[in-house]
Homo-oligomer: A and B are copies of this chain.
Amino acid sequence: MTKLVGRERTVVARICDGILDLIKTKELGLGDRLPSEERLVEDFGVARPTLREALKILEQDGIIRTEHGRGRFVMAGAALHIERPITTFESVTDMVEGYGYSTTTQLLKLTEMAADDEIASGLQCLSGTPVLRIERLRSEGTRPILYSIDFIKAETAGNAISTIDWSGSLVQILRRRGVAPVASTANVSATLLPADAVKHWKLADFGPVLLVTETCFTAEGTPILFAKDYHHGKYFTFSFARR
């Protein structure tokens, strides 16, 4: 779903959710006409431009279609609405909380190193560029469920490297430094934990993992974070619509 910010997001998102609820509870079915704009403005208690913004988002997402002069209708795409799609950018912290897990994050190791080819490609910088390697483990109680290695350019942390709490949300840390990641390109694969991590941190019983490798960008399109998140196969599954 299209990203909005602040209060605007709240009101528009509330209208979208309200209309999706009507579809989910079957008050509105496939091909049904939506109530008039006048009616929706009244029901939701919002201004007409705000309502229209919400309807535009639902149209872009293939949930409804507009027939000029006839009104708006529920489309087949409504069947494709996903509650928490993998295609919505969010911090790992928010994602894990969204699953209902209450985890603690342990900083395993913070290293300054020179970018190898993989990291350079992930951060779109030259090989050899100084980067920070942030190796962490999230656990639900005593059970480790998410092992991650994140890379940022050393210059991104600057002098703050020793004052930053690296067990906090990395997205939050970057936001505070004025370089909030807002989008990413990612890929997902199935694998096992890296052998050295298993050995070093005694993670032998982790099993198959869902590895999400991700380059995160600021709103200006600058690559700011290269992340490798190893999700415990039994604890995570990601949803998406295909069309």
Residue ranges of A at the interface with B (Cβ–Cβ < 8 Å): 3, 30, 60, 75-80, 82, 86-90, 182-192, 207-211, 214, 217-221, 223, 231, 233, 236-243
- Known A-B contacts: A88-B243, A190-B209. Give 10 more (CB < 8 A): A76-B221, A80-B185, A87-B240, A87-B241, A88-B242, A89-B242, A90-B242, A183-B243, A185-B241, A187-B240
A21 to chain B, nearest CB (A): 18
Query: If A88-B243, A89-B242, A242-B86 touch, does A221 touch B186 (CB 8 Å cutoff)?
Result: no
Number of copies: 2
- Is the pair A87, B190 in contact by a Cβ cutoff of 8 Å? no
Question: From A74, which residue of chain B is reached at the shortest CB distance?
Answer: B221
User: Inside 8 A of A60's CB, which chain B residues have their CB?
Assistant: 60
- Is the pair B184, A242 in contact by a Cβ cutoff of 8 Å? yes
Question: From A239, which residue of chain B is reached at the shortest CB distance?
Answer: B187
- Is the pair B243, A182 in contact by a Cβ cutoff of 8 Å? yes
Query: If A182-B243, A217-B76 touch, does A237 touch B87 (CB 8 Å cutoff)?
Result: no
User: Inside 8 A of A77's CB, which chain B residues have their CB?
Assistant: 183
- Is the pair B189, A219 in contact by a Cβ cutoff of 8 Å? no
Question: From A88, which residue of chain B is reached at the shortest CB distance?
Answer: B242
A188 to B238, CA, bound (A): 5
Please name the 7 residue pairs, one residue from A and one from B, whose CB atoms are nearest each other, closest first.
Answer: A76-B221, A190-B233, A208-B208, A183-B243, A189-B237, A190-B210, A89-B242
User: Inside 8 A of A3's CB, which chain B residues have their CB?
Assistant: 243
A101 to chain B, nearest CB (A): 16
- Is the pair A220, B187 in contact by a Cβ cutoff of 8 Å? no
User: Inside 8 A of A241's CB, which chain B residues have their CB?
Assistant: 87, 183-186
- Is the pair A231, B190 in contact by a Cβ cutoff of 8 Å? yes
A141 to chain B, nearest CB (A): 21
User: Inside 8 A of A192's CB, which chain B residues have their CB?
Assistant: 207-208
